[in-house]
Amino acid sequence: MKSLRLPATLENIAKVRTFVLDEAATLGFTREMLFRIDLVVEELAANVVLYAYPDKPGDMEIHCNVVDGSTLCVELLDDGVAFDPLSRRGPDTRQGCTEREIGGLGIYLARRMVDGIDYRRESHTNILAVRFKID
């Protein structure tokens, strides 16, 4: 398993994306899948940066692991405010952009672009895991 720990700042989202994409690229993902992985990781890292630490600075940790030789698992960890993004109701996509409530679209898209997604809270840590099958 490869890991990276960084301060949860907007400037570090690019480093998170590069870390995950470098790992994914070695596994034989197609360009289309690499684009999806990049989009999902960027969205999830941005959520940590923007919402996990409302009152103080904090860190985010990223783990990349290959499971059963056929799936890339990416875990994002933070010690911020407890939040299960999977418990939120998805946006009503039948409504137009101006009628919809703000927020929730990124997690909705991420859920549709991965092969699996799980959330758990251990001690004081949020752990969001996404899985991508290797073609």
* Architecture of the CATH domain 2-133: 2-Layer Sandwich (3.30)
pLDDT digits (tens, 9 = 90+) for 42-84: 999 999 999 999 999 999 999 999 998 899 999 999 999 999 9
pLDDT score for 92: 55
Say which amino acid occupies 47: N
108: pLDDT confidence band, cut at 50, 70 and 90? confident
Q: In terms of residues, how long is the chain? A: 135
Give the domain ranges of the chain.
2-133
Cα–Cα distance for residue pair 113/42, rounded to 1 Å: 13
Q: Does residue 38 sit in helix, strand or coil?
A: helix
103: pLDDT confidence band, cut at 50, 70 and 90? low
pLDDT score for 55: 93
Give Cα separations from 98 to 101, 102, 107, 110 (angstroms).
8, 9, 19, 21
pLDDT score for 30: 93
CA neighbor of 110 nearest in space, from 78, 88, 82: 88
pLDDT digits (tens, 9 = 90+) for 18-41: 999 999 999 989 999 999 999 999
Could you tell me the two tokens for 93?
């996509």
